Amino acid sequence: MRRVIILLVVAVLGAGWYGLAASPSALAVNGTSVSPGELRAELTAFNAHPGLFCYISSLINAAITKQGAGRDSVTAASEVQWMNLRLEGVAIDRYVATTLHHVPSASELASARVALEGELTQAAAHASQNCAGTAVQALADMPAAMRTAQIEDQASSAYLLSKLNATIALTPANIKTYYLAHRSNYDTLCIAVAIVPQASLSAFAASQAQGMSVPALAKKYSADPTSAAKGGAYGCFSPNSSAYASVRSDVGTTAVGHFPTTALPYTPTAGGPTYGLYVAATSKTPTPLATAQGTVISDIQTLNATAANSVKSGILANAAVTIDPAFGRWGVSTSGPSVFAPALPAETGPATATQLTTASSTPYQ
């Protein structure tokens, strides 16, 4: 597993690297530091190699940071986010070395490199990202020190996870066993939707209670003409679809061929009206492991991350951390210790005179 916790966001877009030369180290954990030069080289690599950025972003489910009103806001946020990831890697390495008294062997590092390349490839496919080049090339595009650090982080994280009783090692046998035990979670889902205006929600509920079918409800009440004309039919989603997790969550445990009784809020346009979104599974088809594997791995990683999160927070809470003040401060939030940066106001455009009155037909993108 690439990281003990993978719920981090990276958005390495800027080129200013504010304050990199202000301190002999950009960050330091328990005596091990990352120099300003190293961090500058890493940020340069992301900007110079889109394929590298694409693979790493896919790996940790990255989202692009919204620009703020301040000129350097994207750069500052990007530096802090990448520093959080780097800091965690260093902290885990030091914990494994000093507390667990383990230093990855040459064979472990070789395996970690192969595992990292495999995870990068799988992550890009699962996120439906057509990244330039291969995962092998992405690692080759990293500066030598960065590549060494990432492989060591991979090896240390894998070793730490192997020592936690609540985690599942990502071996082919374990992946298959988990899939077989949760096979219904990976069905290919064909769905129908109804995007209902607020004023029609009560009438929709009354018709639903009287037994009106999914196609009839969609045709009568949905504000999206494209899907409504087809009785709400929206499409089919296999586990390798980037929208699958959202679709699976929205369908929930409602029986096939029925809309849920409670709508999801759906606002197709920022500042526009909010609709009630109803999603029904019209069919569920078993999906072979070869197709579902990316989602199975992601689910196992999420379980592992949940189990390991308290351990990671403990490691960071007890670590001796110093941060160059130019990048932010070291503190504790509700999710645990991390690097913080001052928030900047969001940049807003001029208000529009009109709003959409017809719902968008793309709740899943």
Lowest mean pLDDT among 135-149, 292-306, 344-358: 344-358
Task: Give the residue from 110, 9, 3 showing the smallest Cα distance to 58.
Answer: 9
Could you tell me if residue 364 is inside a domain? Answer: no
Could you tell me if residue 22 is inside a domain? Answer: no
- Strand 188-196 relative to strand 32-34: parallel, antiparallel, unpaired? unpaired
Provide φ and ψ at 346, rounded to 5°: -70, 145
Q: What share of the chain is helix, strand, coil (3-state, %, to 5)?
A: 45, 15, 40
Number of folded domains in the chain?
A: 2
Helix (H, G, I), strand (E, B) or coil at 350: coil
How many whole angstroms separate alpha carbon 111 and alpha carbon 303?
23
pLDDT tens digits for range 300-326: 888 877 777 778 888 888 888 888 777
Asked if residue 174 and residue 67 are part of one domain, the reply reads: yes
Asked if residue 299 and residue 276 are part of one domain, the reply reads: no
pLDDT class of 14 with cuts at 50, 70, 90: very low
231 vs 301: which has the higher pLDDT: 231
Burial of 180 (0-12, 13-18, 19+ CB in 10 A): exposed
* Mean pLDDT confidence for 75-91: 74
pLDDT class of 206 with cuts at 50, 70, 90: very high
Return the C-alpha torsion angle 176, 182, 183, 186, nearest 10.
-100
Q: Which of 285, 302, 321 is the last residue of a domain?
A: 285
Residue 193: the pLDDT is 95
How many whole angstroms separate alpha carbon 207 and alpha carbon 201?
10
Task: Give the residue from 330, 327, 329 showing the smallest Cα distance to 76.
Answer: 327
For residue 111, pLDDT beyond 70: yes
Q: Which of 285, 313, 332 is the last residue of a domain?
A: 285
Cβ atoms < 10 Å from Cβ of 172: 9
Asked if residue 257 and residue 197 are part of one domain, the reply reads: yes
Asked if residue 40 and residue 56 are part of one domain, the reply reads: yes
How many whole angstroms separate alpha carbon 261 and alpha carbon 8?
34
Could you tell me if residue 4 is inside a domain? Answer: no
Return the C-alpha torsion angle 141, 142, 143, 145, nearest 10.
-150
Asked if residue 158 and residue 90 are part of one domain, the reply reads: yes
How many whole angstroms separate alpha carbon 308 and alpha carbon 313?
9
Could you tell me if residue 101 is inside a domain? Answer: yes
Residue 358: the pLDDT is 56
* Mean pLDDT confidence for 15-21: 39
For residue 235, pLDDT beyond 90: yes
Range of the domain at 253: 189-285
Could you tell me if residue 74 is inside a domain? Answer: yes
**Which two three-digit tokens encode residue 241?**
């679809």
Global pTM value? 0.56
Lowest mean pLDDT among 166-175, 251-260, 283-292: 166-175
Could you tell me if residue 297 is inside a domain? Answer: yes
Residue 327: the pLDDT is 65
C-alpha 326, offset from chain centre: 27
Could you tell me if residue 9 is inside a domain? Answer: no
Q: Which residue has the tokens 């490199």?
A: 113
Asked if residue 147 and residue 247 are part of one domain, the reply reads: no
Q: Which of 285, 315, 330 is the last residue of a domain?
A: 285
For residue 6, pLDDT beyond 50: no
Provide φ and ψ at 192, rounded to 5°: -125, 150
pLDDT class of 10 with cuts at 50, 70, 90: very low
- Specify whether the CB–CB gap between 34 and 93 falls below 8 A: no
Asked if residue 131 and residue 161 are part of one domain, the reply reads: yes
Task: Give the residue from 355, 334, 167 showing the smallest Cα distance to 273.
Answer: 355
Residue 356: the pLDDT is 39
Asked if residue 276 and residue 174 are part of one domain, the reply reads: no
Asked if residue 252 and residue 122 are part of one domain, the reply reads: no
Q: Which residue has the tokens 């020190």?
A: 145
Residue 77: the pLDDT is 57
Residue 353: the pLDDT is 34
Question: In the Cβ-directed half-sphere of 111, how many Cα atoms lie within 13 Å?
Answer: 13
Q: Which residue has the tokens 């990244």?
A: 131
* Mean pLDDT confidence for 72-91: 68
Asked if residue 139 and residue 62 are part of one domain, the reply reads: yes
Read off the CATH number of the domain in which 194 is found: 3.10.50
* Mean pLDDT confidence for 174-186: 94
Residue 167: the pLDDT is 75
Asked if residue 138 and residue 35 are part of one domain, the reply reads: yes
Could you tell me if residue 279 is inside a domain? Answer: yes
Instruction: Give residues with Cβ within 8 angstroms of 298, minimum separation 6.
Output: 126, 245
Range with the largest mean pLDDT of 1-15, 33-47, 280-294? 280-294
Asked if residue 160 and residue 74 are part of one domain, the reply reads: yes
Lowest mean pLDDT among 15-19, 162-166, 267-271, 325-329: 15-19
